[in-house]
Structure formats: C-alpha cells, structure tokens
Amino acid sequence: MTKTRIQNLNIRYYTPSPPNPILNLIHMDRGSSLDDDTSVHLQINELRKLSETCGSNTIFEPQSSCEARECNAESVPSAPVLRAPEKKLTLFALRLSIFEKSATGLGTLGFIWATVVLLGGFAITLDKTDFWFITIILLIEGTRIFSRSHELEWQHQATWSITDAGISSFRALRSSSHILIKAVKQTFNPLSLIRKPSHNTREVTQVDHLHVGRWNYSRTPTRTWISSDVPLLPYGKWVFLSRNISKVLYWLQLLSATACVVLSSTRLVNHNYGEVQKGDSDKRNRQSALNIFYALALAEALLFLSEKAYWEWKVIYCKLLEEVNKECELGPSGMVSIKRFFYDAYSRCVNGSIFDGLKMDMVTFAIDLLASSSPDEQLIGARILRQFAISARYSDDALQKIGVNLSVVERLVEMLNWKDPQEEEIRRSAAEILSKLAGKRQNCLRVAGIPGAMESISSLLQTNRSLGDGADEIGEKNLILDHANYSFWTFNHLGLLILKKLACDHDNCGKIGNTRGLLPKIIDFTHAGEKLLRDKNVAPSQILTVKRSLQLVQLLASTTGATGKHLRKEISEVVFTISNIRDILRHGEKHPALQKLSIEILTNLALEEEARERIGGTGGVLKELFTIFLNQGMLENQNQVRRSAGEALAMLALESRANCHRILRLQVLERLIAALEFPMLRVTAARILRNLCTYRGSDCFYLLKGVIAAAATVLKAIMSEENKLQEVMVGLAAQVFKHMTSNESSIMFERAGIKEEELAKALVQILEKYRHPSAKVPRIRRFTIELAIWLMHDNVKNVYIFKDLGMEKELEGVLETTAELESFNIFSGSVGLSRHTTTIHSLVETALNLLKDQ
C-alpha cells in the first residue's frame, strides 16, 4: 500500500479517519503478502520464508531450544541514532522563554522604578504629561503582564479538547495573525500567494468536511465540563467561552505592547520633561529617572514584540510545528498532539526553570496522556504511542520506553477491554502498540505476565458461535461483519497477531492454552471453506485471518515438554480442528502457504498417539495428504509443501496399525516406490515405506509384498549417498529385505549390480564414520546393525565377510558409546518420543552373538 504523503502542511487540524486499518495490519505482518489472485511468485516467496524460518530440522531429529523457537528473536538491523524531532520544539520553547523572562524581568524592574522612584520620589514634581504617560504605561504593562501570565493557560485550555470547537479556536487564532505574515511572505516571494490560496482553501474545506464526519463519534464526558466549552457568563456565550478568551488575551498583549512602544518612544524622542529651575534640587534627577523608565518600558515592549515576531516567523513562515509533525510521522491529525506538546514544554520553561522543557519527549508526554481520565487526552496519547511504535525510525526507542514502564503496559492491556464504539480508536491503537511490543522477547514476557492479559487479548477475538439447543449438538459459527461504526475484523487480526507473537515463548503457550475459551476461538478462525479458498477475488484480510490463526495453532502444537503435550491434546480435542485443516488441504491449492502451515499442525499433533488416531480416522485427511505429496503437477518451488505432507504421513504411520491399514487401502504403494527416485521426496517417501513395513501388522504382510521392487533403488542409495538420505535408506532396507526369500535377495543384488560384500563393507564404514551418535542422523547406527543382522541371517557367508572387515570391533565400540539419542523415533525439541521397542544394546548383542557363534 502506498504511503500517503501530506504535501500541504498548512492543514493543521484533524482530517478524516485513518486509512483502512486492515490494510495496515497486512503490512504489519512481516512476510504476509496475500495478493494471491494470479501471482504464483508471491506464494513461492512465502514458502521460502517459511522454510527459512523452520530450517531443515524436523521432528525426526532433536533440536535445541534455540532452534525450536527462533521466532523469539526479532532480528532488526541496528538503525542509526536519530535525533528526536521534538527537540526542535523544546529548543524553540527554551528560546521563547528567554525572551519572555527577559521581558518580564525588565517590565518588573520598570514597574518598581516607576512606583518607587518616579511616583514615590517625583510624584509631586512630575509634569502632568509625564504623570499620565507613566500611569498609562503602568496600567498597560500591568494588563499585559497579567494577560501574558494567563494567556498561556487559556491557550492550553483551548487545545485540551480535540473536538471541532477546540480545534477551530486555535485555527482562528492562527489565521487571524496570518494576514500580517502573508504580507511579509509576499515581499520575499510574490508568486507564492498566487498559486497557494486556492489549493489551501480547497484542502482545508475537505479537511473540515471530513473532520466533522469522523469526530461525531468522539467520546465526550457526560458528568463533567470540557474546559474549552465552559460559558463564563450566562449571556454572550460565544464571546465568553473559555476557548475564545485566549484570542482576546493574545490581541490584548500585542496592542498593549504596541501602545507601550508608541508612548515610550514619543517621550524619549520629544525629551520634554519640563524645565528645571536653577537651584531646584527636587527636580534635579527627574530627567534621568524618566529616561531610565521610558527606556526600560521601551526595551521590555520591544523584547516582547521580538518574541512574538520570532514566534510568528518560526510557526507561520518556517512552519516549525508542521515540520516536526512530518518528521514524527503523525499525519495531519497529529498537529493537535504537537501543539499540546509544545504548549506543555513552553509552560514548563516559563513557569519553572528555562531548562525544564528540555527534559520532555514525545513518548513520555504520550505516556502521561494515556494515564489521564480525559478521553481526548487518552486518544492523543494512544495515537502518538501507536505511530512511534510502528515507525521504522523510532520504534526501538519508543518500545523500550513503553516496555520498561509496567503501569503503561497494564494500561494498554486494560484498554483492550474497552468495547464502546466511541473508544474504538483508542482500543485499536492500544492493540497495535501491544502487537509491536510483543515482538520483543523481554516485553513479550511482561505483557503475558500481567494478570488478566490473556483474557483481555481474547476479548479482541469475535467469533460469535451460537449455543446449541442441547448437550448433543454444537452451535453454528456466525460470521461477524464490520459494523458501520466498528471494525470487528480489525480487532480479530490484531488479537491473532498479538497471540502469535506471544506464542513464540514457551511459557506463554501454556498461558494461552489455560485461558478459558481461547483455543476454540483461535481454531474457529482456521475455518476456510471452498468458496473462500478458490475465489480469485477474495479479500486479503480474510486469507490473513486464516493464516495468522494457523500460524498460532502451529506454534502452540509445536510446544515442547509437558506443556506441549497438554496443548496438543487440547487442540486435537476441539472437534473442528482436523476438519478445518482437511478443507484447506482439499481446496487450498491456490494457497500453498496455508497448506504448509496446516500440514505442520497435523505433524505436530501426531506426536500424541491419541491425536494420531483422530487424524487418521477423519475422512479424507490421509487421501488429501497423499494427493499433495504425490502431485507431480506442483511447481518445483512448491516442493516444500510436498515434503511437509510426506513428513506428516510418516508421522501418522508411526506406531499406528490402523493408519497403516488406511494408507494401504489407498493403493499408493507403487507411487511411493516411484517417489524414491525424486530427490526432493526420497527421504520422506523412504520414511513412509519403512513405517508401513514396521507397523503394518502381520495381516498386511502380503499387501506390502510389492515393496521389494524398491530394493534396488534403496541399495544404490546406500552405496552412493550419505547423511540423512543414507540413514533412511538403510532403515528401509532392513525392513524391505524381510519380505524377501534368499533367492529373491540374490536376484535383487544381481539386478542392482551390487555384491553383498560391497554392502557389508559400506555398513562397516558407516559404523567407522559414526563412532559416536549424531544428532543429525540419530538412528543410522541402529539401522546399520539391523541390516547387518539380516545379512548374517540370510547368508552365513556374510558372517565371515563381516569378521574380516572388523565388524566385531566396531560393534564393541558402539556398546561403549550408546546414548539415549539413539533410542527414539521422533523428538519434541530435545525430548525423545516413541521409544524403540528393541534397545540398541540388544541389537549389538544379537549381532555379536551371530559373529561369535559362527
């Protein structure tokens, strides 16, 4: 989505609602490109990202905790240190306060000089003209100082509310002084005012029109007054509204300062203070005293006018506020936030030390507003924090400040429960901030550690499944569409995104699973019917919902330890889990990324025996997996999906006689054997065949007789390949040869062009190479010994061959180096599952006995 640029910074007020939040969420989800109507490359890129994330490890190998959960570390390149844009405002406030305090100091000194020296010492001897000039100047200066001390307060109150009235008051104030600045600008650039007025007028009109439509839904207090709307007197309400007082005070200051300059200059120029008669000692110093007073008054007024000129130059001509707003990336609606920040910084500089305002920054300012009880201030704070949290330039610093402040995180979590339509933007902003915060491991733990956090996040998800009429039925899921004034789907996306990031931590997965009603909600979002999956014009947000929910379920199902076992049980017990995945496998050929996630969920669920049987017993799942695995029409770059389907099938056939029977009834044996010739499928095809041969049961022995056709291919792979492929082929050979007679095996060796002596030598070399168990090929020594035992049983001559090759020595070495690593079929992280029925010690003892007996 093209980022909107605001070209005209003269638009300083609230504009329409932000762009479609769902489109923003799609861009927030890294790697979630969903325009899959006709683009195949898009899905291929997604698959590549998935494969890079998952790596080459599978559940058939042990993994360290770091490898198992790589999503914890959000790798962000170190960005250069950027100067905070708000520093320009705090520096501007500092310089203005220097003018202001200097003028106030001179004014105070002049006031004291006039009252003590002039009116006190020369009151009787003063000329009538000077007396009234001094009196008027004192009254003017007193009025100006009084109004100046309160004008800032009134101006601050004018920006207290972000409703239309509050904004219009500031706009009217700014536009009233804009006429003078236009004249100055025209002097420097006469053509600028010819081009811009129509454009500005048009844009301001559009802003005002859209502004009113958006902020009609702004929440206003019902039991308290809004300070900017207080009618100070019962009559003339518009004039005496508190938000309009600041305009009166603003012009009153300018008029009083101008009058002071005129009066003081007049007296200083005329220099006519009356004649002093010779010998009149009472009037001897009157002229000097008056010169000092008028000079002080003139200097003070000029300083104040200089301050105002500097203000207008920076704000109107140089557009400082708009520049900072643009650099902060707050958009046109952020101008109110910038003004509030500037007034707060200026107030601190004026009322306290001139350096107090320098300590302010936008993030801390927004955090303070977020804790306010005012809805307008909460909205301003939430908007600032949201924009800084999603900004590529400022997110690191902003998220660090937010994350270390536990009260702010608690406040954001609390806001997730605000379901009032008038608080929709605050709630959405809080959810977006938390979604970014959860992407950092340390912050992720803080968010999940807040009591009630999971329940608050769960409240973002709206599935609205109706209750059944009785215990013998389940209510239907009703689709909740976005209301005219509320975006339910936006919150669904954000809720899933937050949970997905939290689930990258093992402990958080347990909390998600223990939150009442949350797992069924998540699984409801994995539902995607045929119409949705095959529609070329489907909305990206709908696919994004399914994808995020699948990613979340995949993370939960892949959790290790007792927590993972519990989660897999809970997920598989939800009656819609497997059927929803089956629909994606059946109709999701246009969305291979969704298919891959679905298959990975099945693979992880199949770690549990009970879930394995549920999956196999759900009609069509095995068939759809084989359709994907054996589909030669898929693009080569989509082989990741095929390989994942093969791993799922190998898992479902593991230690499950019922699933082995179901697979054999699909009559896919010949196609599995043919898959051994395809490099991308050889490993998974060999695992499926081995598990079928191992766990098929005695009644299916003859159904697998055709597997002997794969023997030649298997032997060649053993002799030529290494590592993982060699491991699975050795394991398959040990099972395939059990279906052969001695004559058949001799024919097979002859057909493969390999002698038994060569195979025996290759097996010994394998044991020599792997003198210690390997995490990459944890079963290779076991499979090698199994195949050696079969060779010695099949032909006595092979016993002598093994003796001559030093097999006995290698077997004794295996006895000294066995480890638990070699005792399992599969692994959940670094925990072994599905222990082999025969220990490797027993196999070694059997092989040694055969060597010794002969």
**Full DSSP string of 167-222:** HHHHHHHHHHHHHHHHHHHHHH-TTHHHHHHHHHHHHHHHHHHHHHHHHTT----S
Q: What percent of the chain has pLDDT over 90?
A: 23
What span, in angstroms and rounded, lies between the C-alpha atoms of 162 and 62? Answer: 57
Residue pair 402/444 in contact (Cβ under 8 Å)? The answer is no
- For the segment 627-650, the average pLDDT, to the nearest whole number, is 86
Q: How far apart are CA 238 and CA 229, in angstroms?
A: 9
Give the highest mean pLDDT range of 65-69, 159-163, 725-729.
Answer: 725-729
Q: Give the H or E element holding residue 744.
A: helix 742-752
Integer Cα distance of 554 and 561 in angstroms: 15
Position with higher pLDDT, 311 vs 164:
311
Q: Look-up: residue for tokens 């599905």?
A: 834
Q: Are 799 and 811 in contact (CB under 8 A)?
A: no
Average pLDDT over residues 588-594: 90
User: Would you place residue 333 in the very low, low, confident or very high pLDDT band (cuts 50, 70, 90)?
Assistant: confident
What is the CATH superfamily name and number for domain 507-666?
Leucine-rich Repeat Variant (1.25.10.10)
pLDDT at 229: 56
Q: Which residues is 833 bridged to in the sheet?
A: 826
817, 770 contact by CB (below 8 A): no
Cβ contacts of 90 within 8 Å, gap of 6 or more: 345, 357, 358, 360
Task: Report residue 446's pLDDT band, with 50, 70 and 90 as the boundaries.
Answer: confident
Helix residue ranges per DSSP H, 591-681:
592-605, 609-617, 621-629, 639-653, 657-665, 669-675
Determine the longest span between alpha carbons in the chain, in angstroms: 149
Average pLDDT over residues 557-567: 90
Nearest to 531 by CA among 467, 455, 587, 601: 587
Tokens 């007296």 belong to residue: 267
Q: What percent of the chain has pLDDT over 70?
A: 72
Number of residues in the chain: 854
Give residue-wise pLDDT tens across range 84-113: 888 899 898 899 888 888 888 887 787 777
Convert 62-117 into a string of H (helix), E (strand) and C (coil): CCCHHHHCHHHCCCCCCCCCCCCCCHHHHHHHHHHHHHHHHHHHHHHHHHHHHHHH
How far is 574 from 549, CA to CA, in rounded Å?
15
Angle in degrees, CA 471, 474, 475, rounded to 5: 125
Q: What is the pLDDT of residues 671-723, one digit of tens each?
A: 999 998 888 889 999 999 998 888 776 666 677 778 888 888 888 888 888 88
- Which range (4-13, 254-263, 647-656) has the least confidence? 4-13
Kindly tell me if the per-residue pLDDT of 239 is higher than 60: no
- Give the lowest-confidence range in 62-76, 153-167, 180-194, 784-798: 180-194
Measured from the Cβ of residue 768, the count of other Cβ atoms closer than 10 Å reads: 13
| CA distance linking residue 10 with residue 201, whole number of Å | 10
Q: What tokens does 359 get?
A: 């300590």
Average pLDDT over the chain reads 77
CA 685 to chain centroid, in Å, comes to 38
| 831-835/824-828 β-pairing | antiparallel
Among the residue ranges 138-152, 405-419, 735-749, the one predicted with the least confidence is 138-152
Q: What are phi and psi of 240, to 5 degrees?
A: -100, 15
Is the backbone of residue 516 left (phi > 0), alpha (psi -120 to 50) or beta? beta
DSSP single-letter state for residue 825: E
**For residue 490, what are its two tokens?**
């936006």
Instruction: Read off the tokens for 568.
Output: 């897999």
Q: State the pLDDT at residue 60.
A: 74
| pLDDT value at residue 230 | 56
Least confident span in 230-234, 569-573, 723-727: 230-234
Statement: residue 179 has pLDDT above 80: no
The pTM assigned to this predicted structure is 0.78
| Residue 673 DSSP label | H
- In this structure, is the dihedral angle defined by the CA atoms of residues 776, 779, 781 and 783, taken in order, positive or negative? negative
CB 79 within 8 A of CB 393: yes
Between vectors from CA 673 to CA 669 and to CA 679, what angle results, nearest 5°? 140
> How many helices and strands (H and E) does the chain possess?
41, 2
pLDDT band at 280 (very low <50, low <70, confident <90, very high): low
How far apart, in whole angstroms, are the C-alpha atoms of residue 653 and residue 616? Answer: 9
User: Residue 826: beta bridge partners?
Assistant: 833
Burial of residue 612, with CB atoms counted within 10 A of its CB: 0-12 exposed, 13-18 middle, 19 or more buried? buried
Digit-coded pLDDT (tens) for 338-390: 988 988 888 888 888 889 888 888 999 999 999 888 888 899 999 999 999 99
The pLDDT tens digits of the residues spanning 408-434 come to 999 999 999 998 888 889 999 999 999
- pLDDT of 606 reads 93
One-letter amino acid for residue 366 of the chain:
A
